Structure 1
Amino acid sequence: MNELQAKAGIQVLKPIQEVFNAIVDPEQMKNYFISESTGPMVAGTEVTWKFPEFDDRFPVQILDIKAPTEILFQWEGAPGNQLKVDIRLEEREGNTVVKITEGTMPNTEAGLQWMRGNSEGWANFLACLKAWLEYGIHLRKGAFDYMKPA
């Protein structure tokens, strides 16, 4: 294998349109993922995300949206590397399976570290999305405070 991808998936016990809206609408994303966005995810636009734990801002180019089944964007997923993120939603018995693929990076030690970290990050995104939509719990709140400079 010459290239690596970060992957994560989860089933959310909510209808596909509700899950899709929670991902593309920044007001909903503020409940489980980001603290700020310059706008909703709309194909052909660029938004900037800020996360509650960090001062950095991240530009995100929205490449394509196929409501309610696919969201494709590009961002600096690794330092100096613009990476595509593909979020796919699949309806299953009234619930939604969400699968995320990000990448690719070379199969090197640095690439393996990236794959591990970003797979964990997307798994966290999905767990936070599920906790918020199913139970109204802001799972991310305070979770990464330990990473802030002392």
Structure 2
Amino acid sequence: MANQKLQIQTALQILKPAHQVFQAIVDPAKMSNYFIAEGSGPMEEGKTVTWKFPEFDETFPVRVGKVEQDKYISYYWDGTDGTELLVEMTLAPKGDQATVVTITEKEMDNNEAGLNWLKGNTAGWANFLACLKAYLEHDINLRKGAFDFMKPES
């Protein structure tokens, strides 16, 4: 059997209209309520932004790919092995007041490093969706303090 590539795909329904979900993903001021500590600017097609996460000192570059208002966002960021990984977020309205968000991240080789990436980032994207849902539906920041144990000890 050939060494098949691995990819992540996860989805969750959020009880908010697609426009609100979309804005919460592309606007760094909103993202700082559930995902990042800060961002250098909104996610706009063709731009590179930087994200800083609460539990890390460094910033991470994010190269924005395609953006379709209220429907789709893609971007590229560095994988753990230095390769550039594609993240795609698709927003599918379910009536007027709900949106299914599907996230796909690809791709890594089917080896030990790839399996570790698959395990870690699958959990990460499930956490992202849960945090997005809690923020949009209940104005709760689930991420606050959740990963402080990952900070280097001083």
Q: TM-score range by the shorter chain?
A: over 0.9
Please name the residue that 1:23 is paired with.
Answer: 25
Structure 2: distance between partners of 1:55 and 1:42: 24
2:136 is the alignment partner of 1:127: no
Please name the residue that 1:37 is paired with.
Answer: 39
1:77, distance to aligned residue in structure 2 (A): 2.9
User: Alpha-carbon deviations, 1:75-106, whole Å to 9, x = none?
Assistant: 00323110000000000122000000001100
Please name the residue that 1:137 is paired with.
Answer: 140
Q: TM-score, normalised by structure 2?
A: 0.95
2:116 is the alignment partner of 1:113: yes
Partner AA of 2:99 in structure 1: T
Q: TM-score, normalised by structure 1?
A: 0.97
Q: Which runs of 4+ in 1 moved over 6 A?
A: none
Partner AA of 2:75 in structure 1: F
2:93 is the alignment partner of 1:91: yes
1:122, distance to aligned residue in structure 2 (A): 0.7
Does the aligned pair in 2 maintain the 1:53–1:148 contact within 8 Å? yes
User: Alpha-carbon deviations, 1:37-78, whole Å to 9, x = none?
Assistant: 110000010000000111121100001101111001000032
Structure 2: distance between partners of 1:77 and 1:137: 29
User: Alpha-carbon deviations, 1:89-137, whole Å to 9, x = none?
Assistant: 0001220000000011001111011011011111111100000000000
Unaligned runs of 5+ in 1: none
2:57 is the alignment partner of 1:66: no
Identity of aligned residues (%): 54
Partner AA of 1:12 in structure 2: I
Structure 2: distance between partners of 1:134 and 1:77: 31
Partner AA of 1:10 in structure 2: L
Partner AA of 1:27 in structure 2: A
- SS of match in other structure, 1:78: coil
Structure 1: distance between partners of 2:20 and 2:99: 9
Partner AA of 1:115 in structure 2: L
Please name the residue that 1:2 is paired with.
Answer: 4
Task: Give the count of matched residue pairs.
Answer: 150
Q: Choose 4-13 or 39-48, whichever is displaced more.
A: 4-13
